[in-house]
Structure 1
């Protein structure tokens, strides 16, 4: 419990307003699904580098990519899929040789913990009693893109889409399900694990392509000199141990 309270307090500190940032701060923009893991990674890095602060900004990957493209003062960008990172790379706003996949995830079907609709698999989502199914908007959210691809692969996309409730990021979808505002939802496995007391995993979707997370340095003048060290820390054995603790696997 003490560690949990520490992480929450650290998260509040790390999510300070951009105006509070200084030249000594490493600014990291990371996908919403990385919130818990990257908060702990930032704490670990700061402990190894006294006097250096890591400020985190968590949001949907596509939204963060647009911030990178438009010159936001970001040093490191961690995305939940390659498409968002490709957007930044094609705009010339990341350092291509620094880009690497650092984690792997899965898409799962979740329901509220009491599962009032007794959903036991994808086939149940086609039933007339199912009214609302949440997932990230495929146009702007990596988890939504992975969900659509997996459902199309399974032949279930049309049945699910007719009851869609679109989220702006995967954590919003998780909240919808946890509060019982929808009958079911699709999120990353790591997000479901973070709220295991309020949601239940029904099944893991077979993805036609691996659910990989890329990270890269942002190409900008004034980038923090230790930004590359933070990126290396994420990929180090210590960093990978933190990611695995939060449910991610090696890419």
Structure 2
């Protein structure tokens, strides 16, 4: 009887600890905004700890597929979240769009003649272009589609330097290792001393960010955190980092 009671108490203690923890996997472009969101959420929910995991949306999804203990997933595109739904990792009814962004081309701050358009990226003076790997990085997929739509992919593809996420593309431009890079407007705004925006990339689809609790999550905080991200105070924080409402 004593062993049974001890086991029950340990189980309840573990459940209580789990209730106060949440792991959020979020797209790399959300890094700064979600760090602040997590701090504010923890302040309003004493005893709760938000563990953040950032990376390319596709890479994060693969981590979840392989069993990573994630409670909430925030993607930088709809396609990745669609894949999560198809694999029954999240429930379609629980996904929500919470932010919108813009894709831009940035150049080093001291660039003498930044390209004014996608067509200019095909010119000989532009030799190296940083872009997230389309297979796993939504910004890379948006960029490739834009170049395909403009009939420029074949001319620009040999110049592409693939990156693991959009922040790596930003870093390459900031360090002057490439002539240009595809990033989000919110990323470009983080380094005004090191990069400048050359132009906004024309897209046929908006850059929207969906969020959802994981179907397998046992955390009682998962849905509460998603609701918080959709709330007016959280939206105000996202707006300060340059994100628009969806």
TM-score, scaled to structure 1? 0.87
Query: After the TM superposition, which residues 171-250 of structure 1 pair with which residues of structure 2 at under 5 Å, given as runs?
Result: 171-221=167-217, 223-250=218-245
* Deviation, structure 1 residue 76: 0.2
* Equivalences, count: 230
For 2:127, the equivalent position in structure 1 comes to 131
In 2 relative to 1, CA 64–118 (structure 1 residues): closer, same or farther, beyond 3 Å? Answer: closer
Deviation string, structure 1 residues 195-236 (Cα, Å, up to 9, x no partner): 122100010011111111110000115x21011111001000
Q: Give the whole-Å Cα distance in 1 for the aligned partners of 2:112 and 2:158.
A: 20
Question: What's the C-alpha RMSD, in Å, of the aligned pairs?
Answer: 1.5
Q: Give the whole-Å Cα distance in 1 for the aligned partners of 2:154 and 2:25.
A: 34
Query: After the TM superposition, which residues 31-46 of structure 1 pair with which residues of structure 2 at under 5 Å, given as runs?
Result: 31-46=27-42
In 2 relative to 1, CA 117–163 (structure 1 residues): closer, same or farther, beyond 3 Å? Answer: farther
Deviation string, structure 1 residues 43-100 (Cα, Å, up to 9, x no partner): 1101111111111000110011112222211100000011211222111111322101
Q: Is the 2:20–2:221 contact (alpha carbons within 8 Å) kept by the matching residues of 1?
A: no
For 1:30, the equivalent position in structure 2 comes to 26
Query: After the TM superposition, which residues 1-251 of structure 1 pair with which residues of structure 2 at under 5 Å, given as runs?
Result: 24-221=20-217, 223-251=218-246
TM-score, scaled to structure 2? 0.89
**Which structure 1 segments of 5+ residues have no match?**
1-20
Q: Give the whole-Å Cα distance in 1 for the aligned partners of 2:93 and 2:66.
A: 21
Secondary structure, counterpart of 2:145 in structure 1 = helix
Q: Give the whole-Å Cα distance in 2 for the aligned partners of 1:122 and 1:84.
A: 25
Secondary structure, counterpart of 1:26 in structure 2 = strand
Q: Which has the larger radius of gyration?
A: 2
Q: Is the 1:174–1:187 contact (alpha carbons within 8 Å) kept by the matching residues of 2?
A: yes
* Deviation, structure 1 residue 116: 4.2
**Which structure 2 segments of 5+ residues have no match?**
1-16
Secondary structure, counterpart of 2:189 in structure 1 = helix
